[in-house]
């Protein structure tokens, strides 16, 4: 019981320390590395998984920002790209802007730029040979269950 508790605490600490692309040199220790555009749910999914005892890291994909070389050194079977329907993504981003008190159009909610971001993410997934999961209209729990099923099938190192 104590070991399970401390393993869970270690997973939570790892996940918090590896949020938003931090410490890529330690990604090989992750049981799962989630990729996706802003507002695709990477951080909440990672935190949920960590509470279940999984070491999870995530990397936001932003066109124009160089990808860390460590991304392509992680076992690609442990890297999952999140997909989301652009209409839902746009709604999430507009809600975020409103919560932040930002009004009017911006590149963050420009549909043309949003589609370009989604396409950039797909290119990264193809380049790395990473599996993808569509998170559109799915609760975190369902997506986490899918991730756990995928990762649990991998042979242990």
SS3 33: strand
The per-residue pLDDT for range 81-126, each reduced to its tens digit, is: 999 998 888 888 888 877 777 777 777 778 889 999 999 999 999 9
What's the start-to-end Cα distance of the chain, in Å?
Answer: 24
Pairwise CA distance, residues 108 & 97, whole Å = 9
Share of the chain above pLDDT 70, in %: 98
pLDDT at 157 over 70: no
Q: According to the model, what pLDDT value does residue 103 have?
A: 76
pLDDT at 152 over 90: no
Q: According to the model, what pLDDT value does residue 24 have?
A: 97
pLDDT at 137 over 70: yes
Enter the tokens of residue 91.
Answer: 């709604």
Q: According to the model, what pLDDT value does residue 93 have?
A: 85
pLDDT at 37 over 90: yes
Sheet holding 32-36, edge to edge: 56-60, 32-36, 79-83, 131-134
User: Mean pLDDT in the chain?
Assistant: 92
pLDDT at 128 over 80: yes
Q: State the average pLDDT over residues 41-48.
A: 96
């Amino acid at each position: 019981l104590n070991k399970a508790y401390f393993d869970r605490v270690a997973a939570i600490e790892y996940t918090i320390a590896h949020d938003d692309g931090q410490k890529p040199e330690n990604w090989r220790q992750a049981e799962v590395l989630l990729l996706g555009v802003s507002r695709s749910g990477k951080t909440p999914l990672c935190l949920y998984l960590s509470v279940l005892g999984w070491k999870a890291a995530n990397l936001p994909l932003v066109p124009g920002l160089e990808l860390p070389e460590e991304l392509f050194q992680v076992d690609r079977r442990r890297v999952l790209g999140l997909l989301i329907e652009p209409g839902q993504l746009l709604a999430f981003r507009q809600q975020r802007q409103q919560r932040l008190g930002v009004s009017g159009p911006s590149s963050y909610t420009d549909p043309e730029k949003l589609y370009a971001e989604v396409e950039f993410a797909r290119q990264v997934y193809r380049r790395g040979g990473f599996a993808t999961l569509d998170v559109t209209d799915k609760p975190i729990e369902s997506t986490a269950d899918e991730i756990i099923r995928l990762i649990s099938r991998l042979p242990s190192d």
